């Protein structure tokens, strides 16, 4: 099987690339190497390819550059599976540099779609979208407990019938790309699937303040653990809002099985969309994550400072993942507790 992965040196892409290399697929990766950790992930993938004796090709380039995209399809195509996880993923960057956000997410996706249509029309294209296409969800009714916000009117979570509301440049760019992917199936008959992801975490995620919150707070908890061990005063970190914001978190191992299930069920995927997350059993607020991290690292409590809530931040998003289970036979297997524990161990292995 021949697999093209955009953003293949990022967090999601590198994990997916490693999986397909382990299956001895021919893997081609496009990545601009813009984000923290991408060069490290590239080296890791080269080692994986060598250990599995698999075919691995890397092209450094920007998917917003159509000539780069077309050259990859002409040289390496046709592909069986196009995994489009490359993009601009930080809300803060979309606000500070909306032009870059739009070109990467909208123009880049358009370039990939057209290349698939012209050069790999029989491929399955899987697109990594986001729950941010639903906006800030301020119109929903919330209940507040001591540790989290709840959505009492949605006992199974939020499904794909939730109205779209493209707020913030990031929501607009990802939502526009999301709709292009769906429409290229309707208009041109391509096999496409859109995954509207919640929060994903796991190894190979070099988290930062503006992207990868589970990994970021794992790092901060380890820093505070080291302070406690040396009898120093831990430096508080900052959070936006009350800490009661909730997401259903998904470990990257479960994301790999999701994309594999999609390819196995290609005949069912003609513009389908799925809300994807860990579901209710794997939902966490910031405060609940901090409590879990305190237990894992055996420290009394994490010290933080609250700053004003970020504009357009969702108070609670838990995906209704029943559609993915019904059509793809997929469900998460890694509990949030086990996943966070694994993430702490991986973060400890880094030098920081």
Cα 12 off chain centre by: 6
Round the average pLDDT of the chain to a whole number and report it.
96
Between CA 17 and CA 7 the distance in angstroms is 10
Residues classed as catalytic: 170
Cβ atoms of 15 and 255 within 8 Å: the answer is yes
Beta strand spans in 227-330 (E):
237-240, 246-251, 272-276, 283-285, 304-307, 316-317
If one counts every other C-beta atom within 10 angstroms of the C-beta of residue 167, the result is 17
Between CA 83 and CA 100 the distance in angstroms is 21
Q: How many domains does the chain have?
A: 1
Between CA 179 and CA 161 the distance in angstroms is 14
Asked if residue 49 has pLDDT above 70, the reply is: yes
Asked if residue 352 has pLDDT above 70, the reply is: no
Task: Please write the tens of the pLDDT for every residue from 59-89.
Answer: 999 999 999 999 999 999 999 999 999 999 9
- The whole model's pTM is what? 0.96
| Mean pLDDT value of segment 103-127 | 99
Q: What is the pLDDT of residue 195?
A: 99
DSSP 5: E
Domain that holds residue 11: 2-348
183: CATH: 3.40.50.720
Between CA 39 and CA 33 the distance in angstroms is 6
Q: What is the pLDDT of residue 92?
A: 84
Q: Which of 39, 50, 40, 342 is nearest to 218 (CA)?
A: 342
Between CA 129 and CA 321 the distance in angstroms is 15
DSSP string, 296-349: HHT-S---EEEEPPPTT--SEE-B--HHHHHHH-----S-HHHHHHHHHHHHHT
Task: Please write the tens of the pLDDT for every residue from 4-23.
Answer: 999 999 999 999 999 999 99
Task: Please write the tens of the pLDDT for every residue from 118-165.
Answer: 999 999 999 999 999 999 999 999 999 999 999 999 999 999 999 999
Q: What is the pLDDT of residue 105?
A: 98
| Mean pLDDT value of segment 329-352 | 94
Asked if residue 344 has pLDDT above 80, the reply is: yes
Residues in the chain: 352
Strands 246-251 and 316-317, by their bridges, are parallel
Cβ atoms of 21 and 27 within 8 Å: the answer is yes
Cβ atoms of 241 and 309 within 8 Å: the answer is yes
Asked if residue 258 has pLDDT above 80, the reply is: yes
Q: What is the pLDDT of residue 210?
A: 81
Asked if residue 351 has pLDDT above 70, the reply is: no
Computed from CA positions of residues 254, 211, 141, 243, in that sequence, does the dihedral angle turn out positive or negative?
A: positive
Q: Which of 143, 173, 156 is nearest to 285 (CA)?
A: 143
Q: What is the pLDDT of residue 142?
A: 98
Task: Please write the tens of the pLDDT for every residue from 203-226.
Answer: 999 998 888 999 999 999 999 999
Residue with tokens 């929501």: 171
Q: What is the pLDDT of residue 296?
A: 97
Q: For 272, phi and psi rounded to 5 degrees? A: -70, 150
Task: Please write the tens of the pLDDT for every residue from 261-284.
Answer: 999 999 999 999 999 999 999 999
Residue with tokens 């966070």: 340
| Mean pLDDT value of segment 227-247 | 94
């Amino acid at each position: 099987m021949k697999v093209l992965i955009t953003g293949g040196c990022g967090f999601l892409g590198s994990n997916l690339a490693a999986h397909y290399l382990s299956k001895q697929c021919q893997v081609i990766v496009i990545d601009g190497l813009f984000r923290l950790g991408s060069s490290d992930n590239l080296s890791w993938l080269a080692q994986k390819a060598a250990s599995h004796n698999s075919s691995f090709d890397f092209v450094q380039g920007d998917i917003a550059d159509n000539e780069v995209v077309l050259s990859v399809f002409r040289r390496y195509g046709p592909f069986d599976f196009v995994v489009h996880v490359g993009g601009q993923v930080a809300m803060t960057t979309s606000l500070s540099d909306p032009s870059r956000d739009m070109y990467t997410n909208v123009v880049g996706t358009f370039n990939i779609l057209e290349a698939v249509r012209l050069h790999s029309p029989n491929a399955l294209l899987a697109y990594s979208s986001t729950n941010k296409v639903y906006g800030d969800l301020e119109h929903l009714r919330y209940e507040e407990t001591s540790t989290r916000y709840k959505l009492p009117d949605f006992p199974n979570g939020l499904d794909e019938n939730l109205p779209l509301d493209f707020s913030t440049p990031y929501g607009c760019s990802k939502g526009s790309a999301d709709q292009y992917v769906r429409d290229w199936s309707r208009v041109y008959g391509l096999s496409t699937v859109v995954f509207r992801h919640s929060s994903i975490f796991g190894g190979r995620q070099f988290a930062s303040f503006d992207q990868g919150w589970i990994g970021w707070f794992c790092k901060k908890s380890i820093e505070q653990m080291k302070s406690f061990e040396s009898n120093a005063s831990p430096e508080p970190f900052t959070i936006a809002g009350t800490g009661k914001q909730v997401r259903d978190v998904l470990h990257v191992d479960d994301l790999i099985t999701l994309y594999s299930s999609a390819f196995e069920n290609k005949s069912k995927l003609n513009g389908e969309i799925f809300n994807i997350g860990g579901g209710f059993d794997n939902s966490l607020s910031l405060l609940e994550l901090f409590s879990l991290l305190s237990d894992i690292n055996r420290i009394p409590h994490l010290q933080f400072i609250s700053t004003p809530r970020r504009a357009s931040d969702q108070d609670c998003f838990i995906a209704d993942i029943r559609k993915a289970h019904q059509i793809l036979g997929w469900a998460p297997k890694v509990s949030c507790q086990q996943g966070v524990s694994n993430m702490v161990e991986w973060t400890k292995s880094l030098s920081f």
